Structure 1
Amino acid sequence: MFYWAFIFLIIGLVAGALGLTGVAGTATEIAWIAFWLGLVMGIFFFFVARRSPPHES
């Protein structure tokens, strides 16, 4: 997710520099959503991975 957030951030910065404000705004919003989604997923999987596996008898 952080990879995609970075890609959309770069697209937004380039579009903003070229004066394409609509594309820049959309790309920046997608980057922001991807960043927070990646952060939430990372924290979630960090805690899920800390559980011990079930014991087999």
Structure 2
Amino acid sequence: MQELRHDYRRTLDKIDVRNLIFVDEAGLNLSMSRLFARAVDGERAVGSIPGSWVETFL
């Protein structure tokens, strides 16, 4: 296993990092907002969320 790690590292060392492209595949849909929250006993949890429920942010 250790030899495989060294081989992998040697392979990575040959790559020019200026040619790498990173893709962020994390998205956010506003309909995923929580509808319920926790609060201290006897108090109400108050907050707000954006009103546009049809948008997806990528």
- TM-score per shorter chain, which class? under 0.3
- Structure having the higher Rg: 2
Task: Considering fraction of residues, name the structure with more helix.
Answer: 1
With normalisation by structure 1, the TM-score equals: 0.27
With normalisation by structure 2, the TM-score equals: 0.26
Task: Considering fraction of residues, name the structure with more strand.
Answer: 2
